[in-house]
């Protein structure tokens, strides 16, 4: 029997325990695919007093520093998440000559360049398919399959928690708060849901996608980020009226002057667009490129088994490279494309607001849009029921306006002017639109 490749695993949560199970149970299959057996030599955990069926307690340690300080490791799999200590542990592992596989989107979004350089300098691999969109193979297609083409845009649904909440709001008219509470009860949202609902999780994935697609460095704090906490039942109703649903999208595009737009925001998505029907735990990513045209990738975005599938694909790939004494592909990051300010991004918008219902108001609204060069595609007017029948004020109307493609800044200027107009009876609600 040929010499085993030694593997250390950091983290034994939902994904980690599934990865451990695959390595321990599928030995002969993995050896056939790699050409050498894998030997799991240690599992770094936070606490020892947790039941871990099928895992030999002798493998467990709470001293993760000592585990990665071993100089005989071939592969370190990092599934603990967060920036520190994950970053230091991986840099130590790399310095000691181990190839690394990580599913840590937060870390990779912030430190991909540093980790890539360290891996390159030490002649080891850095793979991270599981960091974006769970089981969906998207990192490898962007790094390799499309590397002879020029990608122009990537757009996707990359967060299952927000997808569940928005589905729920759409299907039964729940408020955001009620839908979140239900998601928490069912285990689809964490006790502190901030990272999901504020869009930070999606922003980390958007940064990684942008870096891969455009061969440059993008950090998550460069991503324009608007979460779903402000989405209201009246946004949902407006979307329905326009033949749309609402999805949290991660979007990155190349501009005409070779800069990068990278943003996360809720958007009205036309029902006929394939992303509109991606529901629940599924993620989906659209890629547009010069030669390939439109591509779509769909699959489960989270969960122990789907994420473990992506991790194990990387482990086998890295192990094969190790057996042959080589290291695989790193994204060169050879361009230094700048991230453009969100104001220069272009999109279609749906703008809604309540006005006093009297002659001339619609014309004045239209003039404000026109003054800023924003042309309109659809205008809807609904009369408002007075909230209090005894309301003595003037009758109101709700205007909903879908624009043609518009610069964000021009739309922001329109909103600013509308907000101070004397005929306004509400704030101005702005939602981006895709698929028309």
Closer by beta carbon to its own copies, 164 or else 176: 164
Distance CA 193, CA 173 (A): 21
**C-alpha atoms less than 13 angstroms from C-alpha of 310 in its C-beta half-sphere:** 29
Which residue in the list 105, 205, 247, 263 is annotated as catalytic? 205
Q: How far is the CB of 200 from its own copies (least distance, A)?
A: 25
Neighbours of 361 (CB within 10 A): 18
Size of the site for its own copies (CB under 8 A): 55
Residue 66 has φ and ψ, to the nearest 5°, of: -65, -35
Q: What is the residue whose two structure tokens read 């430190």?
A: 111
140 near its own copies, judged by CB under 8 A: yes
55 near its own copies, judged by CB under 8 A: no
Scanning 136-144, 222-230, 389-397, 421-429 for contacts with its own copies by CB under 8 A, the matching segment is 136-144
Beta strand ranges found along 333-428 (DSSP E): 346-356, 376-383, 396-403, 406-407
Angle 185-187-192 from CA coordinates, rounded to 5°: 85
Distance CA 232, CA 228 (A): 9
Closer by beta carbon to its own copies, 273 or else 377: 273
Reduced DSSP (H G I as helix, E B as strand, rest coil) percent helix, strand, coil of the chain, to 5: 40, 25, 35
46 near its own copies, judged by CB under 8 A: no
Distance CA 260, CA 339 (A): 5
Name the strand (E) or helix (H) holding 55. Answer: none
Sheet containing strand 126-127, strands side by side: 60-61, 38-44, 5-10, 75-78, 99-102, 126-127
48 near its own copies, judged by CB under 8 A: no
Q: How far is the CB of 27 from its own copies (least distance, A)?
A: 12
Q: Tokens in use for 224? A: 């324009």
- State which of residues 141, 193, 227, 266 lies at the interface with its own copies (CB under 8 A): 141
280 near its own copies, judged by CB under 8 A: no
Q: How far is the CB of 434 from its own copies (least distance, A)?
A: 17
- State which of residues 74, 167, 314, 354 lies at the interface with its own copies (CB under 8 A): 314
Beta bridge partners of 40: 7
CA 149 to chain centre: 23
- State which of residues 22, 76, 249, 399 lies at the interface with its own copies (CB under 8 A): 22
Closer by beta carbon to its own copies, 148 or else 389: 148
144 near its own copies, judged by CB under 8 A: yes
- State which of residues 297, 368, 372, 426 lies at the interface with its own copies (CB under 8 A): 297
- State which of residues 289, 348, 352, 403 lies at the interface with its own copies (CB under 8 A): 289
125 near its own copies, judged by CB under 8 A: no
309 near its own copies, judged by CB under 8 A: yes
Scanning 24-32, 169-177, 398-406, 407-415 for contacts with its own copies by CB under 8 A, the matching segment is 24-32
* 105 in active site: no
* Of the candidates 121, 112, 113, the residue with the CA atom closest to the CA atom of residue 94: 121
Residue 254 has φ and ψ, to the nearest 5°, of: -90, 135
Residues 322-341 binding its own copies (CB under 8 A) are 324, 326-327, 329, 332, 334-335
Q: How far is the CB of 221 from its own copies (least distance, A)?
A: 26
Distance CA 297, CA 310 (A): 14
Q: How far is the CB of 299 from its own copies (least distance, A)?
A: 4
Closer by beta carbon to its own copies, 255 or else 305: 305
Q: Tokens in use for 178? A: 């009620």
Distance CA 248, CA 283 (A): 11
The residues carrying an active-site annotation are: 205
Interacting residues with its own copies (CB under 8 A): 18, 22, 26, 29-30, 32-33, 35, 129, 135-137, 140-141, 144-150, 215, 274, 289-300, 305-306, 308-317, 320, 324, 326-327, 329, 332, 334-335
């Amino acid at each position: 029997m040929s010499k085993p490749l030694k593997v250390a695993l950091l983290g034994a949560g939902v994904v980690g325990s599934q990865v451990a199970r695959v390595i321990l149970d599928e030995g002969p299959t993995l050896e056939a695919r790699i050409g050498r057996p894998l030997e799991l030599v240690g599992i770094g955990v936070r606490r020892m007093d947790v039941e871990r069926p099928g895992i030999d307690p002798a493998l467990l340690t709470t001293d993760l520093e000592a585990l990665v300080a071993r100089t005989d490791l071939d592969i370190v799999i990092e599934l603990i998440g967060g920036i520190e200590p994950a970053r230091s542990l991986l840099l130590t592992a790399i310095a000691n000559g181990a190839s690394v596989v990580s599913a840590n989107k937060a870390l990779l979004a912030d430190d991909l360049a540093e980790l890539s350089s360290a891996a390159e300098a030490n002649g080891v691999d850095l793979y991270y398919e599981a960091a974006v969109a769970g089981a969906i193979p998207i990192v490898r297609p962007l790094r390799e399959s499309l590397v002879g083409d020029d990608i122009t845009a990537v757009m996707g649904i990359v967060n299952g928690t927000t997808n569940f909440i928005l589905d729920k709001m759409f299907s039964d008219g729940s408020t955001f708060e009620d839908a979140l509470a239900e998601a928490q009860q069912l285990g689809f949202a964490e006790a502190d849901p901030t990272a999901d609902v504020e869009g930070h999780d999606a922003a980390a994935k958007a940064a990684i996608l942008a870096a891969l697609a455009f061969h440059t460095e993008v950090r998550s704090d460069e991503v324009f980020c608007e979460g779903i906490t402000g989405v209201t039942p009246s946004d949902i109703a407006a979307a329905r009226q326009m033949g749309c649903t609402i999805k949290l999208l991660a979007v990155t595009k190349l501009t005409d002057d070779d800069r990068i737009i990278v943003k996360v925001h809720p958007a009205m998505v036309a029902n006929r667009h394939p992303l509109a029907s991606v529901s629940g735990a599924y993620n989906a990513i659209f890629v547009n490129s010069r030669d390939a045209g439109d591509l779509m990738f769909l699959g489960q975005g989270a969960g122990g088994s789907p994420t473990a599938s992506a991790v194990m694909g990387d482990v086998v790939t890295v192990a094969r490279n190790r057996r042959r004494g080589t290291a695989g592909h790193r994204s060169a990051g050879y361009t230094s494309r700048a991230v453009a300010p969100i104001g220069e991004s272009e999109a279609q918008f749906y703008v809604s607001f309540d006005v006093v219902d009297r002659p001339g108001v619609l014309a004045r609204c239209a003039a404000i849009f026109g003054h800023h060069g924003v042309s309109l595609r659809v205008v809807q007017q609904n009369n408002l029921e007075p909230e209090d029948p005894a309301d003595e004020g003037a009758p109101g109307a709700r205007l909903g306006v879908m624009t043609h493609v518009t610069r964000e800044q021009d739309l922001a200027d329109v909103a600013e002017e509308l907000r101070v107009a004397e005929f306004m009876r509400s704030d101005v609600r702005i939602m981006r639109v895709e698929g028309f």
